[in-house]
């Protein structure tokens, strides 16, 4: 439970930092995929932020 809270706090921090409070806002990116194979189907996706050479991506 502690890890989940920490991840949530870091994510909120990145979102707040990307809101453009000090400069231009950063456009978030999003990806989603659906795969079908012999073991069944799976769904995945994620969100990310990129500013210059720095990027953060959270995916499932």
Q: Where are the domains of the chain?
A: 2-59
**Predicted pLDDT of residue 22:** 65
**Predicted pLDDT of residue 10:** 80
**Predicted pLDDT of residue 2:** 75
The CA–CA distances, whole Å, from 20 to 17, 32, 41 equal 7, 25, 38
This prediction's pTM: 0.46
What are the pLDDT tens digits along the chain (60 aa)?
A: 677 777 877 877 777 766 656 667 777 888 898 999 888 998 999 888 887 778 888 887
Q: Is 17 exposed, middle or buried (0-12, 13-18, 19+ CB in 10 A)?
A: middle
Are 28 and 49 contacting, i.e. CB atoms less than 8 angstroms apart? yes
């Amino acid at each position: 439970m502690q890890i989940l809270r920490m991840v949530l706090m870091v994510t909120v921090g990145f979102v707040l930092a990307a809101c453009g409070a000090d400069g231009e806002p950063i456009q978030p990116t999003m990806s989603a995929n659906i795969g079908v194979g012999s073991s069944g189907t799976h769904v995945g996706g994620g969100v990310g932020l990129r500013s210059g050479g720095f990027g953060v991506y959270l995916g499932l």
